[in-house]
């Protein structure tokens, strides 16, 4: 993701997809998260940033958990979440002696 707006849209896509899989309305999620439906809609479409507390409450309403991870760990997390072939025996994360990390 290149920009902040791309990140907001991606978060919104995740929220919307999860909400639809759970067969919930925006109103239901907003009520469970303690925010207004228009506010939730703006977050879901990526047109508005949300406070961390609102994101935590929305995530929990959808059965998700919000996690903050160091950027250096993103490749390792992506590798762990990527579907693997049976022949794929490469480690998802390799620590370098100098303390850095590579995926």
**pLDDT reported for residue 78:** 84
Among 59, 21, 68, smallest CA distance to 40 is for 59
**pLDDT reported for residue 95:** 61
Classify residue 45 by burial, with Cβ atoms within 10 Å: 0-12, 13-18, 19+. middle
CA 96 distance to own-chain centroid: 28
Q: Would you kindly state where each structural domain of the chain is located, as residue ranges?
A: 4-61, 71-102
Average pLDDT over residues 80-89: 69
Range from 17-21, 39-43, 80-84, 89-93 carrying the lowest mean pLDDT: 89-93
For residue range 24-77, list pLDDT tens digits in order: 999 999 999 999 999 999 999 999 888 999 999 999 999 998 888 899 998 888
Its CATH architecture, for the domain 4-61, is Orthogonal Bundle (1.10)
Contact between 56 and 81 under an 8 Å Cβ cutoff? The reply is: no
**pLDDT reported for residue 74:** 87
Which residues have C-beta within 8 Å of that of residue 5, sequence separation ≥ 6? 46
pLDDT band at 1 (very low <50, low <70, confident <90, very high): very low
Q: How many residues does the chain have?
A: 103
């Amino acid at each position: 993701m290149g920009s902040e707006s791309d990140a907001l849209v991606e978060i919104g896509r995740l929220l919307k997809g999860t909400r639809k899989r759970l067969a919930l309305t925006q109103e239901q999620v907003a009520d469970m998260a303690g925010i207004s439906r228009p506010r939730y809609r703006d977050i879901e479409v990526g047109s508005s940033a949300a406070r961390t507390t609102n994101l935590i409450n929305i995530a929990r309403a959808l059965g998700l958990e919000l996690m903050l991870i160091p950027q250096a760990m993103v490749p390792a997390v992506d590798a762990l979440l990527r579907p693997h072939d049976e022949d794929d025996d490469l480690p998802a994360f390799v620590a370098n002696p100098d303390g850095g990390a590579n995926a």
